[in-house]
Chains A and B, each alone.
Chain A
Amino acid sequence: MKRGGYLLALVLAIATVGLVVVGTVWPNQSAAANPDAGARLASGSSSPQDAVNTLLQQIGRRDWSAAYSGLANKNDFSEAEFASDLTGNYGSLRTYALLDGFDVHPLRASTDEAQFRANLRWASVVGTFDDPRDLRVVRKGDHWQVAWPLMKEARVPPQVIPVNYLRWDVINRGPQDDWGTQDVEAPHVRIVAMHPVDRGGGVVILGELLNEDVVPAFVTVKAALLGANGATLATEDSFDKISHLLLPKQVSPFRIDFRNVRLSQVDSVHIQPSSSLVSASADPVIGIESQKLNPVPDASLTGELLNQSGQVVNVAHVIGTFYDGNGQIVWVADSYPSRALLPQTPVPFAIALPADVSSKVASYHVMTTSYRSGHAQ
């Protein structure tokens, strides 16, 4: 009996250790269950692919120190510069973004060097953005190291930038009054274009809104799809596919998405724009330069944003309106550049277009809105 006991103890001990080894060498990779599903045993640099994967996993865990120490070209820049390249500066979208995933594709390889294209997908507060990088991997003895392609941010030289812009202030009611009750007439706004389309298993309403007034307006657009019997099929609003702040005479495109409704079910569309008076200024002025419409397969509108003011814009929002040859809106799309807009420093942007839409686009119009930390209204 005692011998059986010894055997049982031995079996349980070995089984426990064995199960731990199995769970560690082949960990559960379900991100649905485990927030740290990317964790792996270290030392994955025996092949170029392993070296890239290891580096990107370390970046995903924001383990800058480990990631930096394994770089082939770490003598070219500091760890802080490396981290700043990935996370950005000045409270940009990158600063607080989390790595949601990455894809790695080999481009070429030799005995001592290999090249990969890595696409890092970051999750930010306003959505995901891609960060493609071409990575060179070099052999160092019996292991491989990645040479990180650092993108150094331009430094703005000290200078004085004169500011001359329009500004509208609103005197609100006292704090003892119910906020939001405005004793003034709401700014006059008007829908100047509206075009429903059937797309992706749902209905998309595209349109433009004009602030006809001489004061700035904070605007929203709601839409209701009505069926044949007058019943409401669905209601949605423009959310972030619009510029909510319209200066006098300014036009904003809007897009409202309805999922799981077919256009054939819709008898009419009820659009309800609303506006309220709001303090506003024309600053910061953001110029849009080098705009270019790119054909398929990478159908997109690209260009550069230039912050012409003297203050940092933490997050910019670019909204494009696309028209066909008849001047009809065929699409509204937007994007958020991941880097902050420093004064007088161009930042690239790209607005992706559906392939079928890009062939119809004859002209376009781009506008920007901005967020500056501490200046939210």
Chain B
Amino acid sequence: MQSRNSIDGLVRPIPLGLIMLGAFLVHGPLLLMKLPLKSYDTNFHIFFASHYAHHWFDPWNPKWYAGFSQTTYPPLPQQWVALLSWVVGLDFAYMIVQFAAILLLVLGVYRFAKLWVGPRASAFAALASVLLGSEAFLVYSAGQLSTTFAAPLYLNSLPYLYEWIRWRNGRALLKGAVLAMAAAAAHHATLLFGSFLFAIPVIALAGMEVWKNRRSEGTNFVLRTVLATVIVGILITVVLLPFWIALFHYPVTQTPIPHPSRANYILSPQWGVNYFLVPYGALILAVPFILWRGSLTPRLRPLLFGFWVAFLLGLGGTTPVAKLLLGRAFEVITMERFTYWATLLALPFVGLLVEELVDRFQWRAVAGLTVAAGLTCGVAVAWATYRPADAEDFKVDSAAAWLNRDGHDRYRYVTLGFGNKISRLAVLTQAGSVDGEWNSGRMLPELTAHGAGALTSSKYFGKAGLEALSAILQHADRYGLKWVLLKDPYYEPLLVFSGWRQVDDLEDKTITIWSKEDVAPATPIESQQRPHGWEGLLWGTLPIGSSLLAMILVFFPERRRSERTISVSTLPSKPMPEPVDSEDLVLRRVTS
């Protein structure tokens, strides 16, 4: 009896506000420390945001690839970073937007999980999202702001769309569609690949319920589903119109660039640790439960299939599934996002598992689960330290200052051995580069013809990378490329033998600057890819507008309606206090 009382606090659903407070306690200090700045892609997003901050309605960015269009990458989170940067600067603006994404995930997981499991299990799922290894991995190690921003928006959108399909709630359709539009404006890969993994199980769930309860409504169900799909499709087409135009005219046909997330994780265990063990963490232990419970409970089967497909895709080249299902896209996109989506789809099961374990083992379960989740999150956060994006941390301020003085920025530059510091350098300097980190946006034939990523890391791409570097150096005159900023002496022989001379050094001679004679100042490259003025106008208004509209609609007071609580627990039910988790209450908590 005493034991029963001791877990009374866990018998009722954990209040969402408390979970968000937990998210603040876990991620707040890490973001205040600006830990994501060490990740692979954070500075890439800050670079894009920096451009929006200065040229909101002109998505043509001349600082990389001698000019490229930012309409090739959905802008929403970066535009929010740009907006906030006017108040708190770029770095803190990034952290605020990332934190907002984490809070949205808590809410999204809770609402999404409630479609499948009861409110108490949903609250556990939401709590698990705070300590999710894949989330920590993407935030602190990969720096994938857009992925972590878009997925929560979809998770928040789908319950509304479910309400429309299932209960013909028109207001829910409006909210769901606008949220889906905002999610599309945040990330294209999540839209093109992830949204199906989330949406199809929800549609299947609604279909199963209609089939089971009111078969006569089958036609209406199909019509409502089609209508929702059409409306969402139209909104997504409109909000990303410049993106679709760019994709239509310039599809990604460049030579594929190898990525370790496509490796076989058994044959290459170092990548298995990076892309499987770290993101999943203790969640791996829940996989048998997911298979078991998902198979035994018909209602959970759509979710199980969604998880299973995402799980297999996230394994990269460990199975042939990703190659078979994705085709050419397998060689273009990276696979770690599928792992992220798989873990999100697993969370309702995790919530259910936690609920049952807590009910059965009480505080012992709480202690064990807390340790497992804490370790999972801790290892994923620390992974950025054990496997940093850059082997060597160094400042690029002096390099930027050098480029910005004495008219050096009249010419273009390329760095060698700077790793992903090139984004930070691009933020700080006025000079343009022929290199960059957004491979799908580049159009220079010297770069697209070879299967290599950024020139600054050419050596890691073997022959393809070094050929791309040679090709661009060979055409230095063509692009006004006069400066090479060298951090890695590996490249010195190439520069020496191809006619470059060392002219200066920085940072105690750890960075040398090389120049080529008789290069004319850089001129803008005439490019068909440059968006029209009206595209810039759309790009500067619709994506950010979609998010503002979503906020207005979602936070708009709604009539209270009866709670539709779901319980799929197979354990004997226990007395449960009155649930306090109506959606409106949830949203009021968020806004307060």
Contacts and interface: CB of A to CB of B under 8 A. Distances in A.
Interface string B416-459: 00000000000000000000000000000000000100000001
A131 interface: no
B499 A28 contact: no
Contacts of A377: 496, 501-502
Interface stretch (B277-285, B292-300, B521-529): B292-300
Contacts of A27: 264, 267, 317
A218 B492 CA distance: 17
Nearest to B406: A178
Contact of B263 (A34, A220, A373): A34
Contacts of A236: 474-475
Contacts of B295: 5-9, 12
A8 B497 contact: no
A19 B462 contact: no
A35 B319 contact: no
A32 B462 contact: no
B267 A28 contact: no
Given A5-B296, A41-B267, A239-B499, A100 B517 contact: no
A124 B463 CA distance: 7
Contacts of A19: 312, 319-321
A371 B493 contact: yes
Interface in B253-292: 255-260, 262-264, 266-268, 271, 291-292
Interface string A336-377: 100000000000000000000000000000000101010011
B459 A218 contact: no
Interface string B384-423: 0000000000000000000000110000000000000000
B496 A376 contact: yes
Contact-size category for A: 35 or more
A12 B291 contact: yes
Contacts of A238: 499
A128 B466 CA distance: 10
User: At the interface, is chain B mostly helix, strand, loop or mixed?
Assistant: helix
A93 B323 contact: no
Contacts of A336: 497
B167 interface: no
Taking each of A9, A31, A93, A242, which has the highest tally of chain B beta carbons within 10 Å of its own beta carbon? Answer: A9
A239 B470 CA distance: 9
Interface in A51-108: 93, 96, 98, 100
Contacts of A100: 462-463
Nearest to A26: B320
A20 B497 contact: no
B491 interface: yes
A12 B298 CA distance: 15
B49 to A, nearest CB: 30
B495 interface: yes
Interface string A172-185: 00000011100000
Taking each of A93, A235, A239, which has the highest tally of chain B beta carbons within 10 Å of its own beta carbon? Answer: A239
A123 B462 contact: yes
A222 interface: yes
B12 to A, nearest CB: 30
Contacts of B462: 98, 100, 123
A126 B296 contact: no
B477 A235 contact: yes
Interface in A1-41: 1-2, 5-9, 12-13, 16, 19-20, 22-24, 26-28, 30-37, 39-41
Given A31-B258, A36-B260, A244-B499, A9 B291 contact: yes
A23 B493 contact: no
B253 to A, nearest CB: 13
B533 to A, nearest CB: 32
Contacts of B459: 96, 98, 125
Contacts of B490: 96, 125
B496 A23 contact: no
Contacts of B296: 2, 5-6, 9
Taking each of A8, A23, A126, which has the highest tally of chain B beta carbons within 10 Å of its own beta carbon? Answer: A23
A239 B323 contact: no
Contact of A235 (B266, B298, B478, B503): B478
Contacts of A127: 466, 470
A218 B256 CA distance: 38
Taking each of A16, A31, A242, which has the highest tally of chain B beta carbons within 10 Å of its own beta carbon? Answer: A16
A314 interface: yes
A208 interface: no
B204 to A, nearest CB: 15
A126 B494 contact: yes
Nearest to B271: A36
A336 B494 CA distance: 11
B582 to A, nearest CB: 32
Given A28-B262, A125-B459, A240 B318 contact: no
Nearest to B475: A236
A32 B517 contact: no
A239 B494 CA distance: 10
Contact of B451 (A8, A32, A315): A32
Taking each of A13, A125, A236, A371, which has the highest tally of chain B beta carbons within 10 Å of its own beta carbon? Answer: A125
B301 to A, nearest CB: 7
A255 interface: no
Contacts of B297: 5
B331 A32 contact: yes
Contacts of A315: 493, 497
Nearest to A314: B493
A37 B294 CA distance: 35
Interface string B485-509: 0000111111111110111100000
Given A33-B317, A126-B497, A239-B474, A23 B466 contact: no
B466 A123 contact: yes
A317 interface: yes
A12 B258 contact: no
Contacts of A242: 499
Contacts of A239: 470, 473-474, 498-499
Nearest to A274: B518
A19 to B, nearest CB: 4
Nearest to A257: B474
B518 A222 contact: yes
B463 A35 contact: no
8 contacts: A19-B312, A28-B317, A33-B323, A34-B316, A36-B264, A125-B490, A126-B497, A179-B515
Which 8 pairs from chain A and chain B are nearest by CB? A9-B295, A39-B267, A5-B296, A123-B463, A19-B319, A35-B258, A8-B295, A23-B319
Given A19-B320, A41-B267, A220-B516, 13 more contacts: A16-B308, A23-B264, A27-B267, A34-B317, A39-B263, A39-B268, A40-B267, A98-B462, A220-B499, A237-B499, A238-B499, A371-B493, A373-B489
Interface of A: 1-2, 5-9, 12-13, 16, 19-20, 22-24, 26-28, 30-37, 39-41, 93, 96, 98, 100, 123-128, 178-180, 218, 220, 222, 235-240, 242, 244, 274, 276, 278, 314-315, 317, 336, 369, 371, 373, 376-377
